[in-house]
Chain A
Amino acid sequence: MDFRFSEDQLALAESVREFLADTHGPQVLRHLDKDGPRDPNIWQGLVDMGLTGLMVPEEFGGLGLGLAEAALIAAECGRACLAEPLVDTAFVAVPWLLAKGETGQLAAILAGVCRIPLPHAINPWVADGDGAHLKSVDPLRILTKGTGGDDPHLLDLAALMSAAQLVGLADAMLAQAIEYAKIRTQFGQPIGAFQGLKHQLASCAVAIEFAKPVVWRAAQALQDEVPTRSIHVSHAKVAATDAATLTAETAIQVHGAMGYTYEVDLHFWMKRTWALSGAWGSRAFHLNRIDNAVLGDMLELGPQATFA
């Protein structure tokens, strides 16, 4: 029993965080918003970092890492509000194909020349697919009409990775609110010195602190194929959605009217939060799965079952 990421895992996430901070800042989001939401240079940068091959087995030239590492990096993608469909292709499609024993596309995914849209019955759209466009509130999402089958493993993988992105989004929104609270002054002091704001921001910190381990635990449960993994994925999705929603609403409040403008960057993160909160199973869908398991008699309860 060791609920910790290794030094290597944390160093990897750190390097991705730094890379994205350098190459995918708010000015990039604005450029994508203006000139079109996909940029081959950004994608190529991710490919060069080896991220498309993160979960591709070593025998196919990838890094052969697991869902725990992928979730950690998906959180970094959320923090950077990454627009490219790295998470869908590299952290959802790859493990899904591997689980089905389909290895034919791995080399192309690794090389960055193949992206895999993920149609599923749970969503009334397909992200980064072909076909007639639907407009998302998130200007950097590309949605097309379409739906797919109801593969449960695909749903679990994609819901988990949405949850991981949501905790990263929440972290980023909290950081933006804190920065603003330090520099904006009213009544002769930084607004961050007012308890009314401090306490709201502290509540966000609590929600995020206790959502993250749920996400990591769900990632490990999927990786280890524990029988209750779907419940843990749903738990992760609900906890991450709640933490990110609270943080989004708090962050705009802290910014005052500035937060209601297009000029302040916050809206990019808020919109991604709204999108991912509903994607791959709404809060109600996931809560229902938990209700049925916990309140029905489907889940073993008791201390020995905490990690079962």
Chain B
Amino acid sequence: MHLHYTPEQSAFRAEVRAWMEMHVPAEPLITLECREGYDQHVEWERTLAAGNWGMVTWPEEFGGRGLDLIQWLIFEEEYFRAGAPNRANQNGIFLLGPTIMEFGTEEQKQRFLTPMAKGEVVWAQAWSEPGAGSDMAAISSKAVRDGNQYVINGQKTWSSRAAFADWGFGIFRTDPDSKRHKGLTFILFDLNTPGITRRPIRQLHGETGFAELFFDDVRVPVENCLAGEGEGWNVAMATAGFERGLMLRSPGRFQATARRLIELYRRHQAEAAPSAREAVSQAWMAAQAYAYNTYSVAAKIIAGGKIGAEASLNKIFWSELDRSMHRTAMQLLGACAELKTFDDGSVNQWLEGYIFSLSGPIYAGSNEVQRNITAERLLGLPRVGAG
């Protein structure tokens, strides 16, 4: 156990910090969840790419820097420290990218990874369906093989940023007689393909965060299938592992929130309840614990290990931490909590953050489902209905 950064790692931190200080927009961008804000965020992706910061862990040939996970964690820490914008392409770079890296052909890697790292193609995840939420094996949208094409029919929903994004990655039933986990295939498609209708869905804050997708005889070439027909479930589980595990939510994000919360507490200390004091300290502690845990997981992976169902513990922890930190902030703000903008004209980011934090325990597999997975796969408890 060695808990010190090397001089190279510290130098790398300084490099990222200096770049972020130069480039992060002084004014926060408009929310990613409307056209104008989306465009601003895509612009930011291009700025990042110009600095070669698109996805630092990827090999150089795919637009990355070939850095290790510790450097990635440092990058993320500095990213959130600088208050840099949310990643418009997070589902591409954090979920699909690693999946293509693991399952894609050379041709697919060449074709998809570099434009992703460069922020030229923004990806939406299209898994959920009206009848298949937590129970993803209930997917019924079909892709029927016709020569060297698939013909897709059906409906996807809750697809983040799909209202504006360029490409989607979905799971479709390619074997019409199959049930549940079998006969599913992971397919990549251009969202502008004829036959796709996007219907934006207004989220509770009023903006368009996600969209429904309707597929009406949509033709997609078979070479857009990832890892072979019928392999969809296995590939999706790997992607979900990236989502819940290390990639989607790195500790830097929550440590930055904890620091902002500490500053908020200091400003409201005089009128704060004693319970807020504990809640704020808890936020610091939990964000630190999340960082330690992530560094230990990263060390394991660097040494050749893998994460499996432990990713579920992670997902439960960060999502509940995020919600409790924002709840505490709302309590500290008191009567100002409901204001969308404060007196000084600044956006109440705690309110936006609190609303968003309520979705954390739902997306990426609800926390109830994560607790089921933890109980059954990590603790070895019997499945529901086991007699």
Contact = CB atoms under 8 A, between A and B. Distances in A.
Interface of A: 1-6, 9, 68, 174, 178, 181-182, 188-190, 192-193, 195, 197-199, 201-203, 205-206, 209-211, 213-214, 216-217, 220-221, 224, 235, 238-239, 287, 290-291, 294-295, 301-304, 306-307
A202 B262 contact: no
Contact of B313 (A9, A205, A217): A205
B270 to A, nearest CB: 13
Contacts of B376: 198
B372 A302 contact: no
**Nearest 10 CB-CB pairs, A to B?**
A303-B77, A198-B375, A213-B292, A202-B371, A202-B374, A192-B381, A3-B295, A3-B296, A4-B299, A199-B371
Contacts of A217: 3, 292
A189 B387 contact: yes
Contacts, number: 165
B364 interface: no
A182 B288 CA distance: 34
Nearest to A194: B384
A287 B281 contact: yes
Given A2-B299, A291-B281, A214 B2 contact: no
Contacts of B368: 195, 199
Interface stretch (B4-12, B41-49, B56-64, B189-197): B4-12
Contacts of B255: 303, 306
A68 B376 CA distance: 31
Contact of B262 (A181, A198, A294): A294
B112 interface: no
A230 B382 CA distance: 42
B3 A235 contact: no
Main secondary structure, interface of A, reads helix
Main secondary structure, interface of B, reads helix
A198 B378 CA distance: 11
Nearest to B263: A301
B93 to A, nearest CB: 20
Which residue, B4, B70, B303, has most C-beta atoms of chain A within 10 A? Answer: B4
Nearest to A9: B1
A4 B375 contact: no
Contact of A210 (B278, B317, B370): B317
B273 interface: no
B372 A198 contact: yes
Contacts of A3: 1, 3, 292, 295-296, 298-299
A4 B302 CA distance: 11
B4 A1 contact: yes
B300 A205 contact: no
A4 B5 contact: no
B286 to A, nearest CB: 7
Contact of B316 (A1, A68, A206, A239): A206
Given A192-B381, A195-B384, A220-B1, A295 B281 contact: yes
B253 to A, nearest CB: 11
B145 interface: no
Contacts of B1: 2-6, 9, 68, 216, 220
A110 B387 CA distance: 53
A182 B371 contact: no
A295 B4 CA distance: 25
Given A198-B371, A205-B313, A220-B3, A213 B289 contact: yes
Nearest to B259: A301
A1 B5 contact: yes
Contacts of B299: 1-4
A88 to B, nearest CB: 23
Contacts of B296: 3-4, 213, 216
A213 B284 CA distance: 15
B284 A294 contact: yes
Contacts of B383: 193
A182 B380 CA distance: 9
24 contacts: A1-B70, A1-B295, A3-B296, A4-B1, A68-B1, A178-B380, A178-B381, A181-B381, A189-B382, A192-B375, A192-B382, A202-B370, A202-B375, A213-B289, A213-B295, A235-B285, A235-B289, A287-B278, A294-B262, A294-B284, A303-B13, A303-B80, A304-B13, A306-B288
B280 A294 contact: yes
